[in-house]
A and B are shown apart, each in its own frame.
Chain A
Amino acid sequence: MSKKVHVQTIINGEDVEFLCEPRQSLLECLRDVIGMTGTKEGCNDGNCGACTVILEGRTVTSCLVLGVEVDGKELTTIEGIADGEKLHPIQTAFLENAALQCGICTPGFIIATKSLLDHNPDPSEYEIRWWLANNLCRCTGYDKIVRAVQESAKKIKAQAGG
């Protein structure tokens, strides 16, 4: 009796249609139904932020959103951050500052950073730590991530300025 629902959405600017059961999370739909595995699963209960995506301009943990809920809505996932082969300044800053080790948390951190800098292009360290508090990293100890976010803000500003 697993009735499937048709969902039509826009992911990273492209129309995407899929079928899912209402109980399936957006995270499950992205990874297992659509095959976009850039978004990661950690805790599956909203605590770790590995599954963070941008839904209608707000960061959300996709494990706590249902696939059926995004019908008619717009999403940005980690796959939409780079411009083809060209990395986004946030991605470059994470690499240059060694802000990742195993990398499982990284897509979530990059998405959260993107939405932070979209809302506030010049955040203080406090604002960065507050905004990223819903993202856990077991490897880096966070300092390098905070530095990468500061560096990202500078890169984006420099790019916009010239």
Chain B
Amino acid sequence: MKYVDYERPTSLKSALDILSEKGDVTKIMAGGTDILVKLRVRSEQPDLLMDSKEIPELNELSFNHDTGLTIGAAVPLYKLYADADVKKYYPALVDSTTIIGGIPIQGRATVGGNLCNSAPSADSIPTLIVLGATASIQSSGKLREVPVSEFCTGPGSNVLKSNEMLVTINVPAPADNSAAHYMRFIPRNEMDIAVVGVGSYVKLNASGDKFESVNVSLASVAPTPLNVTEISKFLSGKDVNDENIEKAGQLAKEASKPISDMRGTAEYRQHLCSVLTKRSINKSIERIKGA
């Protein structure tokens, strides 16, 4: 690792001042579980590492029945998945964050870092996309909101400019008769990168026999987490039955653009897209009916 300076600002203002002055040679560090590895292999070589963990706004974790969930960009996973409101209203976030690394990784890693690292395999991003989450991004004097579905622009790249930082991720309040779910396939039982990951969100009508809206997002099958809008279009207004869910699996398979690598061939990944999409939609439906 080359020599790097370290700063730990304790206010958002001083963090944004640092970024407007030298954002182009600065890397932000939350839990450090991606960035420190990259510094070590020199795939990133900033002059300054700015630790974001002492900035109050980035440590917010709050829920409100009208406005939903606010996740500060520096909130560690273990705090998020242990939160009573997150467990009750956002079980899909628990699905996706309890499988990121192991216990020591979860003691440090953040959803903000997972999003800003923008890996196609990131386990929290499909869930954020299907839940309709937005990212609050700030630079000195400017705040903008970007839907998480538009945040990633390629493997490891995203819409953030060098003077900007992610402050919070905002997840809408849960609607009646709705639920979400995330699952991935890995060859091991834990501690691996998704071969395919699938997040689903389902909202049913009051009697529970028709889909009102469905979102499906896939990890590890395209350069960015993929939002399968074809499924949303197809299932909306349709009856809840095996045939329609089967078709949704087929649409996920057709939308995916996977590559072959050591974790699986493209063909295998496409097959998994279909299987996991069906399973995840069914799990979301089970969650609605179980509530």
Contacts and interface: CB of A to CB of B under 8 A. Distances in A.
Interface of A: 1-3, 5, 21-23, 25, 44-47, 49, 52, 55, 58-61, 63-66, 68-69, 112, 115, 129-135
B107 A58 contact: yes
Interface string B10-50: 00000000000000000000011100110110000000010
Ranked nearest first, the 10 interchain pairs of A and B with the lowest CB-CB distance are A134-B102, A22-B6, A58-B107, A133-B190, A133-B102, A23-B1, A59-B104, A61-B104, A23-B4, A45-B37
12 contacts: A21-B3, A23-B1, A23-B39, A46-B105, A49-B102, A49-B104, A58-B107, A64-B31, A69-B8, A132-B102, A133-B102, A134-B102
Given A58-B78, A130-B190, A133-B190, A25 B36 contact: yes
A38 to B, nearest CB: 17
A97 to B, nearest CB: 22
B195 to A, nearest CB: 18
A45 B104 contact: no
Interface of B: 1-6, 8, 31-33, 36-37, 39-40, 49, 51, 78, 101-105, 107-108, 189-191
Contacts of B105: 46, 61, 64, 134
Name, among A3, A22, A46, A69, the residue most crowded by chain B CB atoms within 10 Å (CB to CB).
Answer: A46
Contacts, number: 80
Contacts of B102: 49, 131-135
Contacts of B51: 69
B8 to A, nearest CB: 8
A108 to B, nearest CB: 9
Contacts of B4: 22-23
B191 A64 contact: no
Contact of A65 (B2, B108, B189, B191): B108
B123 to A, nearest CB: 15
